[in-house]
Amino acid sequence: MELDDRPDLADRLKDAIPAATLIAMRPAPDGGPDEILVVERAQKLAFAGGMIAFPGGRVEAQDHALAASAAPGLPPAEAAARIAAIRETFEETGLLCGLAGPDETTGPAACDHIAAARREMLDGASFDALLADRGWAIDAGALLPFARWCPPAGITLARRFDARFYIVRAPAGAEVSPDRTENAAAFWARASTLVGDNDAGRIKMVGPTRATLMRLAMGHGFADAKASAEQFPVREILPVVRHEGSESWAGVPAGHGYPDVDFRIR
């Protein structure tokens, strides 16, 4: 197990929910900085309702069940998280990344095959059954680890997440649509645009999302994000908390590739 020899971190994460997030990046039509896939979470959701986020969610038992056969070269928790990121992104947005399989995933009829598979999934079909029925295989290596956000210590939160962030290259012109259950919208936008809209109050997002977009905005696209990931291999981000009156703020320690940024903990 990844935390067997790290008792302090294991204790910190003992009540944290394992989660995975996918940062899909596609070339912009105008040749500018890459666009990034985000969703607008439904207002009714208890966590980050109405906010802009990357697609993703909890790592489920089905992801662990698939991990051993789909990504045998990775630690079990890491493999399950990558599968969760692929599965959640497909369910929430219709974007299918991180698969290797027949031409129906990339050929002229790809849109119809993928849309049909997503409808089955939204109707209750399991992800592993969809993969088996179509002969699709997970390509976990297509996802590159970018960050791992752990919950701040000494702060009471309604939900505590151990969230792994991955980047993946998406094809130009990749189309998406929201599931209309967990998300009200799914769209592509530049990192700098999203940060600016958040700062202007036009959209809302949680601190780790904004911080990650600020890091991505430091580069031009996927190649720069990949270079950043290689320069700063993923270590657990343990936010540093400071208190100002009745408010608590969290900052990103140095050495993770993030700009100097902090955010209020609600």
61: tokens are 């038992």
Q: Using one digit for the tens of pLDDT, what is the confidence trace for 160-208?
A: 899 999 999 999 988 899 998 889 999 999 999 999 999 999 999 999 9
Tell me which residue of 24, 36, 265 sits closest to 158, measured CA to CA: 265
172 in any annotated domain: yes
44 in any annotated domain: yes
Q: pTM surpassing 0.85?
A: yes
Cα angle, residue 132 at apex, residues 129 and 135 outer, rounded to 5°: 145
What is the domain extent for residue 107?
13-236
Tell me which residue of 172, 173, 197, 221 sits closest to 32, measured CA to CA: 221
How many CB atoms are located within 10 Å of the residue 22 CB?
29
pLDDT at position 9 is 81
Q: Which whole-number Å values give the CA distances from 128 to 49, 64, 138, 208, 255, in the listed order?
A: 29, 11, 10, 30, 37
The DSSP string of 74-141 is S-HHHHHHHHHHHHHHHHHH----SEE-SGGGTSTTHHHHHHHHHHHHHTT--HHHHHHHHT-EE-GG
Residue 195 DSSP code: H
How many CB atoms are located within 10 Å of the residue 11 CB?
11
Q: Using one digit for the tens of pLDDT, what is the confidence trace for 83-129?
A: 999 999 999 999 999 998 655 455 555 778 889 999 999 999 999 99
- To the nearest whole number, what is the mean pLDDT of the chain? 90
The DSSP string of 138-164 is E-GGGSEEEEEE-PPTT---SS-EEEE
256 in any annotated domain: no
**Which single residue is written with the structure tokens 């990344």?**
97
Query: Into how many domains does the chain fold?
Result: 1
- Please state whether beta strands 247-251 and 262-265 pair in parallel, antiparallel, or not at all (unpaired): antiparallel
Beta carbons of 53 and 198 less than 8 angstroms apart: no
Q: Which whole-number Å values give the CA distances from 2 to 52, 111, 131, 255, in the listed order?
A: 31, 38, 27, 21
Q: Using one digit for the tens of pLDDT, what is the confidence trace for 203-238?
A: 999 999 999 999 999 999 999 999 999 999 999 999
CATH number, domain of 124, equals: 3.90.79.10
229 in any annotated domain: yes
75 in any annotated domain: yes
| Phi and psi at residue 258, to the nearest 5° | -95, 150
Q: Using one digit for the tens of pLDDT, what is the confidence trace for 53-70?
A: 999 999 999 999 999 899
257 in any annotated domain: no
